Structure 1
Amino acid sequence: MTDTAPDFAHDVAAVHEATERLLTAVAGLDDAAVTEPSLLPDWTRGHVLAHLSRNADALVNLLTWARTDVPTPMYADAATRDADIRRDAVRPLAAQLDDLRESGEGFTAAARALPADRRGFRVEMRNGVVERADRLPLRRLGEVELHHVDLGIGYTLDRLPAAFVAAELDFLTGVKFAGHAKLPALELRTADGRSRRTGRAAEGAAPLVVTGPATALLGWLTGRGEGDELTADGGALPVVPPL
């Protein structure tokens, strides 16, 4: 994982803007639409919205840990996390909107309250993943933007802000899948001339080159696209492990 400090204030502002876009879009739904299937297996739109609200609360826990140096887990445990999402998924639209707005404001306030000298503090996320506090806004931004797509209400991958797509590709290639034992060595190339490497170490062999639009690469890596717009030198695209 890179230790390069992100632009914390910029990232917090980006989360706020993405949340406002999401709230505006969701406000156009109705109670029936909230109960309909999302693009995620076995989840309704209500599940997605409930997850986003509870994720904001969970990240506030980590920001509080970073600020106070008192260990605070994201969630009490996996079973409680899942139960809370199921519980909140069935609420009507108005309750979903209020919760999403209030939890989002809570995240923004907690992020802005984090002193600059505590931003490099490391906290433990789910599944033992260790992360710097100043990268938590980027984590939240990924949740908001990608789950907005998952709602299936017209916000598609090609509507994602270019800056977010670039930052998320940097995260996926440089952190999430870097050295991953179940992904071959890859070099991802986009039309803007960028090249990113990820997957297993090449061990002397050239990595598999995958080329295509940045949004298509993002969709493929996150399980939100089949990679139809991508080309792989020398064969088919490999299977990407679940996030």
Structure 2
Amino acid sequence: MMDHARDLASVRDATKRLLTASAELDNARAPEPSRLPGWTRGHILAHLARNADALVNVLQGRPMYASGAARDADIERGAPRPLDVQLADVRESADRFQDAAAVFADWSRTVELRNGVTDQAARVPFRRWIEVELHHVDLGIGYELEDLPEEFVEREIAFLADRFAGHPEVPLTRLTDGTRTWSTGRTAAEPEVTVTGPAPALLGWLAGRREGAGLDVSGGPLPSLPPL
């Protein structure tokens, strides 16, 4: 069961970590390439700010973004801004998200996200937590998958395993870090692929941040996963 209040606190803590680390950059390093193809660090910071505002829209019953093109244009427009402007935008938009969540009442309600995806409102804070943590890693400023909170790593592996569950292009796959186990992929009876490794490495592969380094695979090759 989702604990939205606890997740909101985790979002707040994660945002503070990201802002503190990003403040060590300067205007010369902000436009440098991030770990995401085609995006600079400025693109990531602009995206994080606009994503917070988009989730306010979700909680208040409006479309998450006006359109995909508008979303992309906002990110491109915001990417070249000076670092202090970027960080102020991330901070202020994060505050707007927390303020909107503080007065939101019906956490059992189904809300619509991007591209027609729906979810329970109670999961929205966790979705924001995902954005902040993974994009902190994507900035490439010293925060790695191994630095992510253990609770977040376990829950995000489960979230992504569920996302790929039943996907026709992903073979039946068992994931394990030696202690915990998750399943994903097709549900038809077939030989099972087992992927074993440290939880951060499993998350890196599932989230498209790593190509499988540190993972052992049996029962077949490492499955190719669809883009998120």
| TM-score, normalised with respect to structure 1 | 0.92
Equivalent in the alignment of 1:151:
139
- Report the alpha carbon displacement of residue 158 of structure 1 after superposing the two structures with TM: 0.6
Cα offsets for 1:83-121 (capped at 9, x unmatched):
000000010001001000000011111112111xx1011
The answer to whether the aligner puts 1:21 opposite 2:17 as a matched pair is yes
Question: How far did 1:180 drift?
Answer: 1.2
RMSD across aligned C-alpha pairs, in angstroms? 0.9
- Structure-to-structure mapping, 1:106-125, within 5 angstroms: 106-115=96-105, 118-125=106-113
Distance (whole Å) between structure 1 residues aligned to residue 113 and residue 210 of structure 2: 26
Distance 1:204 1:154 in 2: 43
Residue equivalent to 1:38:
34
Deviation at 1:182, TM superposition (A): 1.4
Counterpart for residue 217 of structure 2 = 232
Amino acid at match of 2:112: E
Which runs of no fewer than 5 residues in structure 2 stay unpaired? none
Instruction: Work out the CA distance in 1 between the residues paired with 2:36 and 2:58.
Output: 26
How far apart in 2 are the matches of 1:156 and 1:92?
25
Alpha-carbon shift at residue 222 of structure 1 (Å): 1.0
Aligned to 1:69: none
1:166 aligns with 2:159: no
1:51 aligns with 2:47: yes
Work out which of the residue numbers 194, 214, 223 in structure 1 matches 2:199. 214
Which of 182, 188, 193 is residue 175 of structure 2 equivalent to?
188
Asked whether the 8 Å contact 2:46–2:78 carries over to 1, the reply is: yes
Pairwise CA distance, 1:223: 1.0
Q: Post-superposition shift, 1:206?
A: 3.7
Question: What is the rounded CA distance, in whole Å, between the counterparts of 2:180 and 2:193 in structure 1?
Answer: 15
Runs of 4+ in structure 1 deviating by more than 4 angstroms, as ranges, are: none
Out of 56, 59, 63, the position equivalent to 1:63 is: 59
Q: Report the Cα distance in structure 1 between the residues aligned to 2:164 and 2:121, rounded to whole angstroms.
A: 20
> Structure 2 length normalisation: TM-score?
0.98
Instruction: Give the total of aligned pairs.
Output: 228
Q: In the alignment, is residue 84 of structure 1 matched against residue 86 of structure 2?
A: no
